[in-house]
């Protein structure tokens, strides 16, 4: 199902927030439900019979329901602690939404969930999470962390401290003032996307109210996914009409806190939206693959000037360059990029250039092949578009196609990177362009048009700069 225009516009905006380092996630029970975990209602349902109550009828008052259950046990909550341990096993695997979020450069995660899915997904993505589930952990910074995960309601490993009952919620602002202050700060300075969150949490209500009273009409805009009521979910039309009215008022009420709702018809659209965000973000990162020992027909001087101009153009258009510093092309490419970057004020070089030269001092050919393969896979996990130029090398005094360029091409396709071989530069790039254009099925019209233009011979190599720029800008906007 295609995303709505509102959701599509949001995806573009959030991708920019990612690039600027101001994006944050607030995860509710709905995100964990996608991994097969129970929600609050399901967690408390086993205790309904002994209370003589219905979880469905109390669905708007589950915090109070948990308090009733503790009261029924004479103030003992051991049964609730045990339910947490059983419901959220530590070894559970993250769902696809967790995996996408973990791959993105998100530095701040907030959650009311007790499970370990977010931090597990981050570790799986080879990142270092700094997990905070007690106030005493807040002043401690984990070295070389990639993201902070604030578990404001606690962790399954310490169920006795988890925020569960009405007593816990009423004492929250006093017992966990560190979390409250940290959340206020992040909601003030970052753009949040709420996923799987119902906005029924009294702690968050207090924080949002505090921000509304402090900033009034100047509040930062945040976003949340909300599923539109479906008639198939209701036993009769009267309940459906009531749900639609309630939904309308809920959406309008969130506007008081400058929370914009992203209405979806099915929860699978969340995955589609997150995938679109990842694609849009990654397509600002361009992997440049190529090597050259033979610069015909233009000559080494002209080719070097071309790559200098290409590096400068990529920076000028706010692309980030990822390169393995290919022989004969890498030096000129990064020289042009660095020169352009330093000509722009207030620009951090590491935000626009990632240079990863290949480790060449490995004597054992088999070991070198294994390491280079892994190295290429890691390099190509970053960008959304890969440019392939030239692709030849000197071997035994003969000019031969560069097999490394083909390997990078194959890894790129395997990892879902959009590939653009510039066939006009000849060598391996020409071979790859012909192969793709022979079987264009599955390619978008934008890609086919770009490949066709980039395969046309030119008398001056600088004539390729404009079509390359046009192709990258068109793909980055898709």
**Cβ partners under 8 Å of residue 379, min gap 6:** 287, 322, 324, 356, 408
CA distance 464 to 248: 52
Per-residue pLDDT of the chain (478 residues; tens, 9 = 90+): 689 999 999 999 999 999 999 999 999 988 988 777 777 778 888 888 888 988 888 777 778 888 888 898 898 888 888 887 787 776 678 999 999 999 999 999 999 999 999 999 999 999 999 999 999 999 999 999 999 999 999 998 998 999 988 899 899 999 999 999 999 999 999 999 999 988 888 888 889 999 999 998 889 999 999 999 999 988 899 989 999 999 999 999 999 999 999 999 999 999 999 999 999 999 999 999 999 999 999 999 999 999 999 999 999 999 999 999 888 999 999 999 999 999 987 677 888 899 988 888 888 989 999 999 999 999 999 999 999 999 999 999 999 999 999 999 999 999 999 999 999 999 999 999 999 999 888 888 989 999 999 999 999 999 999 999 999 999 998 8
The 3-state DSSP composition of the chain as helix, strand, coil percent (nearest 5) reads: 55, 15, 30
Q: Which two tokens stand for residue 130?
A: 């700094």
Intra-chain end-to-end CA distance of the chain, in Å: 16
- Which residue reads 């352009």 in tokens? 340
Of these residues, 98, 133, 153, 176, which one is catalytic?
153
CA distance 152 to 102: 19
Question: Looking at the domain that runs over 283-476, which CATH code has it been given?
Answer: 3.40.50.450
Q: Please tell me if the domain spanning 5-37+88-280 has the same topology as the one spanning 283-476.
A: yes
CA distance 197 to 205: 12
CA distance 153 to 142: 20
Domain ranges of the chain: 5-37+88-280, 283-476
Q: Which two tokens stand for residue 307?
A: 């790559």
Phi/psi at 73 (5° precision): -90, 20
pTM for this entry: 0.89
- The upper half-sphere exposure of residue 100, i.e. CA atoms within 13 Å in the direction of its Cβ, equals 21
In CATH terms, the fold of domain 5-37+88-280 is Rossmann fold (3.40.50)
CA distance 449 to 469: 13
Tell me whether residue 153 is one of the annotated catalytic residues. Answer: yes
> How many helices and strands (H and E) does the chain possess?
21, 14
């Amino acid at each position: 199902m295609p995303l709505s225009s509102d959701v599509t516009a949001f995806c573009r905006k959030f991708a920019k927030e990612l690039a600027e380092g101001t994006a944050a996630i607030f995860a509710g029970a709905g995100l964990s439900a996608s991994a097969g975990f129970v929600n609050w209602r399901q967690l408390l349902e086993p205790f309904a019979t002994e209370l003589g109550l219905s979880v469905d009828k109390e669905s708007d008052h589950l915090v109070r329901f948990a308090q009733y259950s503790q009261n029924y046990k004479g103030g003992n909550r051991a049964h609730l602690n045990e339910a947490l341990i059983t419901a959220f096993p530590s070894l559970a695997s993250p769902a696809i939404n967790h995996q996408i979020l973990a791959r993105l450069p998100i530095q701040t995660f907030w959650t009311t969930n007790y499970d370990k899915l977010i931090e597990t997904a981050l570790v799986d993505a080879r990142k270092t999470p700094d997990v905070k589930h007690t106030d005493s952990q807040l002043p401690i910074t984990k070295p070389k962390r990639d993201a902070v995960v604030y578990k404001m309601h606690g962790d399954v490993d310490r169920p006795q401290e988890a925020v569960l009952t009405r007593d816990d919620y009423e004492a929250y602002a006093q017992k966990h003032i560190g979390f409250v202050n940290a959340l206020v700060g992040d909601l003030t300075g970052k753009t949040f996307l709420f996923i799987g969150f119902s906005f029924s949490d009294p702690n968050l209500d207090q924080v949002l109210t505090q921000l509304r009273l402090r900033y009034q009409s100047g509040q930062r805009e945040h976003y949340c996914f909300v599923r539109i009521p479906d008639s198939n979910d209701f036993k009769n039309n009267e309940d459906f009409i009531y749900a639609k009215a309630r939904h309308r008022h809920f959406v309008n009420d969130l506007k008081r806190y400058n929370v914009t709702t992203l209405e979806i018809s099915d929860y699978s659209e969340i995955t589609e939206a997150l995938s679109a965000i990842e694609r849009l973000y990654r397509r600002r990162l361009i992997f440049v693959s190529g090597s050259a020992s033979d610069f015909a027909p233009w000559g080494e001087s002209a080719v070097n000037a071309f790559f200098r101009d290409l590096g400068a153009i990529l920076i000028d258009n706010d692309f980030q360059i990822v390169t393995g510093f290919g022989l004969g092309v890498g030096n000129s490419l990064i020289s042009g990029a660095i020169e352009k970057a330093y000509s722009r004020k207030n620009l951090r070089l590491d935000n626009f250039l990632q240079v990863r030269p290949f480790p060449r001092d490995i004597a054992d050919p088999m070991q070198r092949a294994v390491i280079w393969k892994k190295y290429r896979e890691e390099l190509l996990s970053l960008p959304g578009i890969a440019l392939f130029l030239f692709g030849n090398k000197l071997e035994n005094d003969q000019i031969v196609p560069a097999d490394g360029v083909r390997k990078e091409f194959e890894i790129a396709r395997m990892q879902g990177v959009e590939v653009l071989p510039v066939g006009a530069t000849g060598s391996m790039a020409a071979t790859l362009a012909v192969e793709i254009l022979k079987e264009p099925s599955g390619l978008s019209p934008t890609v086919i048009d770009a490949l066709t233009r980039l395969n046309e011979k030119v008398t001056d190599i600088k004539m390729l700069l404009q079509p390359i720029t046009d192709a990258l800008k068109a793909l980055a906007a898709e």
